[in-house]
Structure 1
Amino acid sequence: MTPSHLQPALYAGVGCRRGCPVEDLDALLRHVLAQHGLPLAAVRGIASLSRKADEPGLRLLAERLALPLVLLDAAQLQAFEPLLSHRSATAYAHCGCWGVAESCALALAEQQHGSARLAVARQATSNATVALACAV
């Protein structure tokens, strides 16, 4: 196993329906990491839309994992549209960006490192989406 200081820093973008339980978000994030052989210790932050600031599941997820939760405006996410693996007209109609999880992950990774790429494209359940980004 790679020592934690040698693991690439990962940033999780999370989108969810209103009232999505923390257990669903936690399970999806852990599933995505395990599916790609990535350790939870590599995740350095969680990002979502600013309109989800009052979403208990997101706040609890960040607390549970002792990670910062960064909330971003849809306008901040527009620049990442060309990097998305999937563009959702529904997401755009509801929140003003083409993909919440991927855009948020990319934006947070770029904030931290100056450039970013998707490490894991969005994975979805009926309640939530998660994507992972890292520095280029």
Structure 2
Amino acid sequence: MTTPDAKPTLAVGFGCRQGCEAPVLLQLLEQSLLARRIDLASIAGLASIDGKRHEPGLIELARHLQLPLVFFEAAALQPYEPRLSHRSSLAFARTGCHGVAESAALALAEQLGQAPASLLISRQKHPQATFALAWTGQNP
């Protein structure tokens, strides 16, 4: 349970095509945060689906930002489906999850913040990747 003074926990979720490079992911992240005036330093971690565990771009980005990178199994992301802003049947066919970026962001925010999470930035799409930001605690 969060206290009224608790800092928000911000978690990023990514979905990406195989071979998506770290600079593409970083640009998507920075553009999305800039549009909402959110400081990159306030991000607590990055997340994706376990099928992306060996994606060099995600690994390189986490290293560059010095943030933890957490991967969730599709079954762990499935309960978030009713809270997604967009449900992709293509993503479900490929991953077993209707929305990787949003589900992963929600799952990580709840894991780190130990409280229910909400989407602060819904799915942002790039030709090679998707991004979402979830938070717990007071509105950032």
Deviation of the 1:7 alpha carbon: 5.5
Cα distance in 2 between the residues matched to 1:28 and 1:15: 11
SS at 1:123 equivalent: strand
Deviation of the 1:42 alpha carbon: 1.0
Deviation of the 1:67 alpha carbon: 0.2
* Contact 1:7–1:42 (8 Å) recurs in 2: no
**1:82-113: per-residue Cα shift (whole Å, max 9, x none)?**
11000000000000011000000000011122
The answer for unaligned runs of 5 or more in structure 2 is none
Residue 128 of structure 1 pairs with residue 129 of structure 2: yes
Runs of 4+ in 1 over 4 A off after TM superposition: none
* Contact 1:12–1:46 (8 Å) recurs in 2: yes
In the alignment of these two chains, the number of paired residues is 132
Cα distance in 1 between the residues matched to 2:38 and 2:6: 12
Deviation of the 1:6 alpha carbon: 7.5
Alignment of 1:60-71 (within 5 A): 60-71=60-71
Q: TM-score, normalization: structure 2?
A: 0.91
Cα distance in 1 between the residues matched to 2:57 and 2:38: 23
Q: Which residue of 2 aligns with 1:76?
A: 76
Cα distance in 1 between the residues matched to 2:130 and 2:64: 18
The answer for unaligned runs of 5 or more in structure 1 is none
Deviation of the 1:80 alpha carbon: 0.3
Q: TM-score, normalization: structure 1?
A: 0.93
Q: Percent identity?
A: 49
Alignment of 1:96-111 (within 5 A): 96-111=96-111
